[in-house]
Chain A
Amino acid sequence: MTEQIKNTGFEEMTLNMGPQHPSTHGVLHLLLKMDGEVITEARPDIGYLHRGMEKLAEKRTWGANIALSDRWDYIASMSNNFAAVLGPEKLMNITVPKRAEYIRVIMAELNRIASHLIFFGTYGIDIGAFTPFFYAFREREMILDLYESVCGARLTYNYFRIGGVSADLPADFVPGVKSFIDYFRPKLKEYDTLLSTNPIFMDRTVGVGNISKEEAIDWALSGPNIRASGVNFDIRKDDAYSVYNEFDFNIPTGKNGDCFDRYMVRMNEMKESARIIEQAIEKLEPGDIIAKVAKVVRPPAGEIYTHVEAPKGELGVYCISDGSTLPYRYKVRGPSFVNLAILQKMLKGLKIADVVAVLGSIDIVLGEVDR
């Protein structure tokens, strides 16, 4: 240290941000080297929430793994369920009934809205505006109420089953979703006035934490983060799973890949999700909700990689089956984990106030980073 002061006249300060810090979104530990308020080096230190999900999965049946998948990205459990069921279904060549497919899509998209609402709220708090958080949670609560009426849980849904879904929609679900969407659209405008067009907010986010197109691809970003950099990559379109190819929706992209673009991509994605839900509700017809599958499944030996477009990005599951009731290997590609890596590059040269703006804009969930 003294050496450094002698040479440069400055001393670097090491700041441990987290694991207990109000805005690291859980137990992320950021090791920051700082020159005054400017960051010269940043190192994310993860693992505080490690639960060994992948190893646990090897000792759980394929069906029970869906229940565990709820805990990866706990604010978008439906997408996790989605990723968890696709693998065994493909291995076993199950055709999921049409109604179940539409229900899955509705659930996943509602979950995307719920997850982006959390992003909106917490991002507001990161930037310093508290009130949007409560507005976002009010809307999210309505989605959770809908979920509760379907599957009986508000956070860890465990709703998808191999071959379909666990329960049919209750009678008041479809009108409930319709009225929610009607209610939700004007609220999005309100959000825009509260944050998106607020000059202070724009000041904080525009031009902060830029990721170029090439960088985004190099660091294997996915989800809204890569789309904000202008790469039109969405698994729902590019590798359409389930029935996503039947819907008409746009993929919002950004230009500069700064915090504001990442934020706006998510806000626009909510609109598109609402559109998908509307279309899916139109297509909903009575029918089976689950294919004929044995209670305890034994997928044939083989390996497979399936991925879904989770709210955070590409959520992939690579599983190897040896023909028994338990998976032989169960690897999860968490989008948050991969997206987090670029943080060390982005933070260099930014101010400490930007740390939270950048970190928030990547939208990570520590449950998924550490698994």
Chain B
Amino acid sequence: MIKIFKYTWAILKGMGITFKYFFIRPVTVQYPKEKVKISSRWRGTLKQLRNEKGEEACDGCRICEKICPVNCISMEVYKDEKKNRRFTSSYVVNFGRCMFCGLCVEACPKKCLVHTPDFEFCAYDRESLILAKDKILR
């Protein structure tokens, strides 16, 4: 008998909790309308920066290419004799493979490869996930 009362009480208490939450404001976010604030360290898609002169800062040292665990960065490098430094003639990141681990950004000696806070990157086909320099260099 006591057991029955105990059980009933436990059941009622459980119902009390759900009832309490029934009146508490939901915590979910109406996604496309409102967006959550994401952290500044968010590891989103990659972006290359320009240096203060406005030219691309990357000097094609290929460190990011080597460190990437899934080999999704590929580039071609040429030497610009006039400016006496290397440039990349193409810099392609296959975001279909990229796992946003952040190793490349960490390793970049020029600090010119950074993450964007973009978390909505999507495409209809895999081809459009491969971004070349015109998209990456911003």
Contacts and interface: CB of A to CB of B under 8 A. Distances in A.
Q: Do chains A and B touch in the complex (CB under 8 A)?
A: yes
Interface of A: 60-61, 63-65, 67-68, 70, 131, 135, 138, 141, 145, 148-153, 156, 158, 166-167, 170, 190, 193-194, 197-200, 295
B7 interface: yes
Interface in B6-25: 7, 10-11, 13-14, 16-18, 21
Contact of B7 (A61, A67, A199): A199
Interface in B24-39: 27, 38-39
Contacts of A65: 69
A154 to B, nearest CB: 9
Interface of B: 7, 10-11, 13-14, 16-18, 21, 27, 38-39, 41-43, 67-69, 99-103, 106-107, 115
B17 A166 contact: no
A153 B43 contact: yes
A158 B101 contact: yes
Contact of A198 (B10, B38, B68, B107): B10
A167 B17 CA distance: 40
B100 A153 contact: yes
A65 B18 CA distance: 44
Contacts of B99: 67, 156
Contacts of B102: 151-153, 158, 166
B10 A148 contact: no
A193 B41 contact: no
Contact of A166 (B18, B106, B115): B106
A57 B21 CA distance: 46
Contacts of A135: 21
A193 B103 contact: no
Contact of A152 (B7, B21, B39): B39
Contacts of B14: 193-194, 197-198
B7 A167 contact: no
B69 A68 contact: yes
A167 B115 CA distance: 15
Contacts of B13: 193, 197
A27 to B, nearest CB: 20
5 contacts: A131-B18, A148-B38, A151-B102, A166-B102, A193-B13
A193 B20 CA distance: 13
Nearest to A135: B21
A138 B27 contact: yes
B41 A152 contact: yes
Given A63-B67, A67-B101, A67-B103, 16 more contacts: A63-B103, A64-B103, A148-B41, A149-B41, A150-B41, A153-B42, A153-B100, A156-B101, A158-B103, A166-B102, A166-B106, A190-B17, A198-B10, A198-B11, A199-B11, A295-B107
B39 A148 contact: yes
Contacts of A70: 101
A170 B67 CA distance: 26
A64 B67 contact: yes
Contacts of A63: 67, 103
Contacts of B10: 193, 197-199
Contacts of B115: 152
A160 to B, nearest CB: 12
A342 B28 CA distance: 39
A342 to B, nearest CB: 31
Contacts of A141: 27
A158 B11 CA distance: 43
